[in-house]
């Protein structure tokens, strides 16, 4: 187990288990979005006998520590990643890849504007998703 990864968990007060450390490592190293099932596929080879319910519980602990954020995508499952806070997602309709905007502040700005505009409603969760075509798929379409 890489020490740099367990250190991040320790600093956030997460009780370290092999499952949590490995899930965190997969998320942090890849910087990608995973469903709980995909994470399970990734880590079960290293941790035989691991139940998918343990993956969910580990993700919950990492989320509570502010290390991981979950996002709901339209018609898709919940995805998890090593990040914090609301951030917009761009989902390609052709290849299903998930992208981020260059500006990491934008999600916070939208959340801020919304919470100011809706005084009588306390926003606890916000998912910003745009659907469309990524540059790869746009190129493919024009070539065909």
Site residues for Zn ion per CB under 5 A: 81, 92, 94-95, 134, 137
Q: Measured between alpha carbons, how far is 52 from 134 in angstroms, rounded to an integer?
A: 31
**How many C-beta neighbours within 10 Å does residue 68 have?**
21
Q: What residue has token string 């919470």? A: 115
User: How many Å apart are CA 143 and CA 56, to the nearest integer?
Assistant: 42
DSSP helix/strand/coil, 131: strand
Q: Decide whether 54 or 80 has the Cβ nearer to Zn ion.
A: 80
Closer of 47 and 90 to Zn ion (Cβ): 90
State in angstroms the smallest separation of the CB of 100 from Zn ion. 5
Min CB(93)–Zn ion separation in Å: 8
Residue in this structure with the two tokens 């502040």, named with its chain if needed: 105
Residue 8 or 92: the one with the smaller Cβ distance to Zn ion is: 92
Kindly state the smallest distance separating residue 133's Cβ from Zn ion, in Å: 6
Which of residues 16 and 129 has its CB atom nearest to Zn ion in the complex? 129
Q: How far is the CB of 72 from Zn ion (least distance, A)?
A: 11
Placement of tokens 């602990």 in the chain: 61
By C-beta, is 5 or 80 nearer to Zn ion?
A: 80
Instruction: Please return the burial class of 25, using the count of CB atoms within 10 Å of its CB with bins 0-12, 13-18 and 19+.
Output: buried
Query: Least distance to Zn ion from the beta carbon of 127, Å?
Result: 10
């Amino acid at each position: 187990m890489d020490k740099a990864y367990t250190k991040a968990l320790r600093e956030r007060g997460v009780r370290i288990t092999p499952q949590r450390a490995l899930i965190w490592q997969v998320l942090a190293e890849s910087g990608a979005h995973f469903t709980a099932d995909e994470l399970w596929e990734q880590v079960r080879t290293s941790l035989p006998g691991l139940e998918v319910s343990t993956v969910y519980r580990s993700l919950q602990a990492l989320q509570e520590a502010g290390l991981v954020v979950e996002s709901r995508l339209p018609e898709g499952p919940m995805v998890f990643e090593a990040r914090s806070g609301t951030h917009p997602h761009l989902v390609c309709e052709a290849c299903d890849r998930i992208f981020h905007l260059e500006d990491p502040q934008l999600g916070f700005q939208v959340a801020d504007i919304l919470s100011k505009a809706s005084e009588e409603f306390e926003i606890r969760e916000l998912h910003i998703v745009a659907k469309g075509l990524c540059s790869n798929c746009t190129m493919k379409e024009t070539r065909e």
